[in-house]
Structure formats: structure tokens, C-alpha cells
Amino acid sequence: MSKISQIFLGGILAAVCAGMPGAIAQSPVQAGGSGDDWPSYGHDAGGMRYSPLTQINRDNVSTLKVAWTFHVGDISDGTGGKKRSGLETTPILVDGTLYLTSAFNRVFALDPETGKQRWVYDPMIEIAGEYGDGLINRGVATWLDPARAKTKPCRRRIFEATLDARLIALDGATGEPCMDFGNRGQVSLRDVPRYIPGEYHMTSPPAVIDDVVVVGSSIDDNARVDMPSGVVRAYDARTGALRWKWDPLPPNDPPNNAANSAANDSAPPTQGTAKKWRTGAGNAWSVMVTDPERDLVFIPTGSASPDYYGGLRPGDDKWANSVVALRGKTGEFVWGFQLVHHDLWDYDSAAPPLLATVQHDGKAVPVVIQGNKTGFLYVLNRDTGVPVFPVEERPVPQSDVPGEVTSPTQPFPSAPPAVSPQKLSADDAWGITPEDREVCRARLKGLRNDGLFTPPSLKGTLSIPGNVGGMNWSGYAFDPQYSLLVVNTNNLPARMGVIPSDKYWDTVDANTQDADYTQQAGGPYGLFRTMMFAKAHRLPCAPPPWGTLTAVDMATGTIRWQIPLGSLAPSKPIVPVGAPSLGGPIVTASGLVFIAGAMIDPSFRAFDVETGKEIWKYQLPTSAGATPMTYQTRKGGKQFVVIAAGGHRGVTEEPQGDSIIAFTLP
């Protein structure tokens, strides 16, 4: 997510608490079994976030107690030249050790049963760097070298990609750098076109497939037209040597470059075909997943730069806003599916891909499930990328901004239905008071509002879902026993538009739009953007809930249940339930869904996966903008559930924290 996204989100929630009135089943591991690790960010390499453990179940989850708490100690409140920090790490567990990261990229190894620190490694990043996403890291990846003796160092390697663009390999046993990897344990990731420190950084864990480590990047949104390249690179897990690289966008050559697809040929830029097209990014900033049996790595990509004007990047901009399958050994392009053509809304494929096997037309079909900020879920054949549920290219509203050439169509899946709202009229405006509702109604009436994919305009456009609406990096979890995909989504409409560059600074100085601005330097238009809320009580203009938890039946493509998640004002019953969330769910074989994630609301919850009924809740020290995990380390041992509670980095009203908290049965 971009820096500006966080600013907008904080703007909505800034005064929320002030001034309010009055499938295929897998064999479960039974209690007392051999245990179960959590070796990847999403548990398995394909990111299902499904644990086969059953010791904690629907009957006893209400008795969960805190087993231990560990404090990482790294917090920045955004003063002193430093960005504000968040704690978004999801630990992994391998070889009887828990590995996790702090906001400052420190890597910790803990005893998983006691929380006692075994070692810590500090990469010594520049804390005061200009990191557009703030100070965050979502975790590490691991690889076991089968050719190395157990007594040798770095047989188990822990990989971290840092905010200052380095890939680091550590010995899992000691935390010491693996000296045979790159330059004394690290590889620089800064050798990309148009690299600028801080603007180009890493926030998500690498992906590991066979003996290859794959890294993407996080790139700031909207600062200028030609942002750094969103290249994805793979390195040898032993030596750190570059094995391959793949760029989601072609080089900045004339738009008839064959690498950019026929769609781009048909829409030359306004300067003429002799000019180079200008763009960057399209980067993979979220979590990647792998299928080792097929030798495939699946890459979710974000928008091309700048997000809100595409006149200098004509055509579909493949392969931005896509999910792409690459060959793990070589980086060879196998297939791609673009979720948004010629993105003008910051509709990244922010959610990680998820690999599962679902029943469809009487057959077991291996699929990739990919959602994005539109609220759509796409279910694709894992081998071919062909949609399992049909996808139709439908006409969409066209731009009236001079120089912009909008995609004539966008892909609409026939199933499942959208999991978040995609329209909002002035008549639907919501307010906690009649006065708030009238303010929202008036604001909506003044915007261009032609439904989903209404492009940015000079007068202002309603974007619903907004850029943090729908599915974000929180992602989803899949229960193969019930063929249910569990996903948390946001319902946050935004007002956005473009400003001619010759009027940009006058508009910024006047700030008549009550918005945040970015210049999109190098292009003919700047950007204004803000969430839609009433001034008095700072609650969204869309009807609640503003955040939901949904279970989608992936066999039928239908919604099984949908409930509000969390509350923007837990202590004020007058405020409707349902809060935006960042931090996703996990599921277990005992029929439980664990999730925190809700903004303002510090609750960690468990739900019944079949019904959506809440059956356990615990109040954390602050909200948890992270995804939990669970494990059982040994036969006869206890099952633990772990969550990082540090507050959301973009919500300044929440207390910050540094807690890693483990729960178990009494």
C-alpha cells in the first residue's frame, strides 16, 4: 500500500472516537499427534493458511489463555525524521524455532513454547529513511539445504528482504549471516532502473522454490510518471547469484514494443508513436506463493505508474494489476491473467494468490484464487490461467480527461459475486445524524458516479471500492474440508480526480477539495484523493458495515455467510459495527477462523467456519494489523496461536505496540 493510502485512511479514522453522539479434505492432526509447523507466511507454499491441527476446537476455544508475550522493542511514532511504524509480521515455525521480524527489520528467533529469545539479528537499516509505506515488515522465508551436513552452518537459512533494498541470508541456528551468500550474507537489490532510496523498498517476505529465492518490491505511488522498475528477481539460495529476472512491464520503448501486447499497439500516446511510453512500477509488493511440484511461482502485481493518469502508458499495461505464473527455475513466463486493464484507480492485486484444489463440474481442479481491491474474486486453472468460473469483458465508463484513453472493457467474473459493495448513490448516503447524511448526500451528488470503474475526472469522481476498499494485503484463508474461502474486506468509497499540472500548486495551496494531493511529476495531471466521510463525526458516507468477514463456497461460487467484523468505536454502541481491517484470517481443521485486523478495535476473535458465529474474543493491548498463525511443536505438546499486536501504522489514534502474543489452552 502506498504512503498516500495510509494518509487517507488515517484521515477517515482520525476522529472516530471523538465527538460521537451519545473442496478436498486433508487428514487433521489430532491432539497428541506429531505436531505441525508453520513453515511459510501462508502455512503451506501455496498460501492456504489452513492448519490441520484440532487440539483447539469449537468446544474449548473459549478457554484460550495467554501463554507468553514477547516484545520486539521497535516502535517509531513518526517524529524525529522517521516514518511511523507498524507491526505486520506473521511468524514462521521450522525446526522447533519461531522466526519473526520487527518494523526495523530486526529478525528474532524465539522458543515457540516459552517465547524466550534465542537470537536476534539487526541489519542496521537507516531508520530515518523515506519509506513511503512506513516502517513495516511482514516476515521471513526459509530454505533447508539438503546437500549440507547438519553440523555445518547455514543448512537452515532464513531470508529477509529489507526496507533499504537488501536480501539477507541468516543461519537459522545462530542468526549469523551466511557468508557464502552474496557479499558476506547479503545481496543488494538496488540495481534497478530509476532506483531512488526509500521510494523503492521491500515489505513482504521472499518466496522460496527449490533452491531459488524470489523477491519483488514495494514502490511509492504517484510521486512521478516514471517510477522505478517493478522487476521480480530470483537468486540462488546458496550463493546469492542472480538466476533470473522478469519485468511486468516492457522497457520504456515505443508503445509498439511487442512485449507489451497488441492492446497497447492500438492506443499510441498523445505525443505520437515516435515517443517512448513512460511508466514504471507494476511491482509485486504483496506475498508471492509457489507450487514446487509444477515448478511455478505466482506473482501478484500492482498498478503501473502513475496510478491515476495513464495517457503516457497506453493500452492494457500488461502485466500490471495481474496474477502471473512464472517457471521457478528459469523465470519463463507461463501464463498471466490481468484483473484490471489500464488501471486508473490503484486497484492493485494486493491480496496474495492462494493455491487450492476445488470441486468443479464433478472434477477436482487445481486452481489459483486471486482477489483485488475491486471486491472481485477470480478462480483460475492453475496450469493454464483459464477462468474456472467464466469471466466476461464488459463495457465500462470512459474518461473525459484530455489525453487519457480508458480501457473500453474490464473483466467481470460470473462467480463468485463481489464480496464488497461496488456502487453508492446520493440516495444511499449514510450519516450517523441527519446533518451528516445531508453532507454526504451533497458530496456524492457533485461527483461523477457511473459505477465501478468510473475513471478519474477533473470535477471529481466517486471510486467504490476506494483504493483501500475491497481486498487488500490481508488476503484470505481456505478450508478444504468445507471448500470455504474466508476473506475480510473493506467498504470505503473515495473521492478522487486529476488536476491540470499548471493549476496543481494553486489547488494544493487552496486545498479546496479537503483532500491529499500528489503531483504525478512528469505528467500533465496531479492527483487529489480522499475517503468519503462526513466532517462532523468522521464516519464513512457509505452505509455500514465498513468491514466484513465473508465465507465463499468455492465449489458453487456463492456466498455462504457474511458478517460485520469489528467496530470503529467498540465502546460506543451507537456506532454501527463493521470496521475496515488490515491483517487477514487463518483457518484450522477443527472448524475455527482466527482473525484480528480491525482498525480501532483491539479484539482477537475466533469464528465458526461453517456459520460465521463468533465464539471467542480477547482484547489485545492494541489492534493487530497482522495475520495470525498456529502450530504444535511436538507429539503430546500444546497447540499455540500467535498474533502480532502493534496497531495499524496509518491510524494515529490507536496506541502503538510491540507485542507478539501466544495463546494456548489452560
The answer to whether the CB of 597 falls within 8 A of the CB of 481 is no
pLDDT for the residue numbered 269: 39
Closest CA to 473 of 564, 308, 585: 585
Local structure of residue 248 (DSSP, 8 states): S
**How, if at all, do strands 322-327 and 296-300 pair?**
antiparallel
Catalytic residue check, 346 = yes
- Rounded to 5 degrees, φ, ψ at 369 are -100, 125
The string of pLDDT tens digits covering residues 136-173 is: 999 999 999 999 999 999 999 999 999 999 999 999 99
The pLDDT of residue 277 is above 90: no
pLDDT for the residue numbered 573: 85
pLDDT for the residue numbered 185: 98
The helix (H) or strand (E) run that includes residue 6 is helix 3-13
pLDDT for the residue numbered 250: 82
Distances, alpha carbon 562 to alpha carbons 419, 474, 551, 612, 664, in Å: 9, 17, 6, 7, 28
Mean pLDDT, rounded, of the chain: 91
The pLDDT of residue 206 is above 90: yes
Kindly report the number of other CB atoms within 10 A of residue 145's CB atom: 15
| Alpha carbons 42 and 491: distance in angstroms, whole number | 25
Q: Exposed/middle/buried for 191, CB within 10 Å: 0-12, 13-18, 19+?
A: exposed
Task: Pick the catalytic residue from 221, 346, 479, 553.
Answer: 346
The helix (H) or strand (E) run that includes residue 263 is helix 262-265
pLDDT for the residue numbered 261: 40
The string of pLDDT tens digits covering residues 286-324 is: 999 999 999 999 999 999 999 999 999 999 999 999 999
| Alpha carbons 99 and 112: distance in angstroms, whole number | 9
Give the cell for residue 240: 546469492
The answer to whether the CB of 321 falls within 8 A of the CB of 339 is yes
pLDDT for the residue numbered 252: 67
pLDDT for the residue numbered 262: 33
Torsion of CA 558, 563, 566, 570, to 10 degrees: 170
pLDDT for the residue numbered 9: 57
The pLDDT of residue 62 is above 60: yes
The pLDDT of residue 29 is above 50: no
CATH number of 3-664: 2.140.10.10
Beta bridge partners of 379: 369
Q: Which residues contact 54 (CB under 8 A, 6 or more apart)?
A: 28, 29, 30, 31, 588, 589, 590
The string of pLDDT tens digits covering residues 592-620 is: 999 999 999 999 999 999 999 999 999 99
| Alpha carbons 469 and 416: distance in angstroms, whole number | 18
Order of strands across the sheet that contains 558-564 = 476-479, 484-490, 547-553, 558-564
Local structure of residue 459 (DSSP, 8 states): S
The answer to whether the CB of 646 falls within 8 A of the CB of 624 is yes
Give the cell for residue 275: 515517443
